[in-house]
Amino acid sequence: MKHTFLLGMCLWLTACSSVPVETDFNPTAPFNSYQRYHWQSETSGGDRSVSPFHVERVRNQLQTLLQQQRYQEAGRTEKPDFLLRYYLSEQIEGHGRGRNTRGSVGLGSGRGGFGLGVSVGFPLGSNHPERKLRVIVDILDGHSKQLSWRGIAVVDADDSPEKVGEAIESAVSAIWAKYPPGR
């Protein structure tokens, strides 16, 4: 029983620490033939509101992951198998959970009785908007220039720059772990 509890706690903590990632892809894309790449610099980057240091972290983390998996950057005169682009955008989400109190009244009856209930809800949000950073990584086919694969993760940006930087690197790793599809 004790071991089952510990195993359950470990699984729960692991699930809580992972970065949720959304992916989509073209099922006809030749992912197995993608070995050599070029950066698509003209469409990569970030919103003006995002620190250029965070944008640089995305590229550096991708570069590290590509090297670890033995993908090679194609030379300037070589035609790449795929193009790689990334983007970092800021999202601002509301003011907590809302400002209005909510109330409700419930009526009910049962065997030999009648009941009335009243409830009042108070918002538990904060007074400032929540800042998030959306990390997007795209793979485009090197020949057709069409989108083949996209991965997206969202990280909390309301922390110190160091912690946000670590969260961005974790998000990029979590996104890249989903490439190629079916792995």
Is pLDDT larger for residue 156 or for residue 102?
156
What is the rounded CA–CA span in Å between residue 166 and residue 55? 12
Average pLDDT, the chain: 83
Contact predicate 44/172, CB 8 Å? no
Predicted confidence band at 83 (pLDDT cuts at 50, 70, 90)? very high
Checking if the pLDDT of 33 tops 80, the result is yes
Q: What is the pLDDT of residues 42-72, one digit of tens each?
A: 999 999 999 999 999 999 999 999 999 999 9
Instruction: Specify the pTM.
Output: 0.73
Q: What is the pLDDT of residues 127-166, one digit of tens each?
A: 668 899 999 999 999 999 999 999 999 999 999 999 999 9
pLDDT confidence of residue 126:
57
Percent of the chain at pLDDT exceeding 70: 71
Stretch 100-128: mean pLDDT, rounded? 64
pLDDT confidence of residue 160:
92
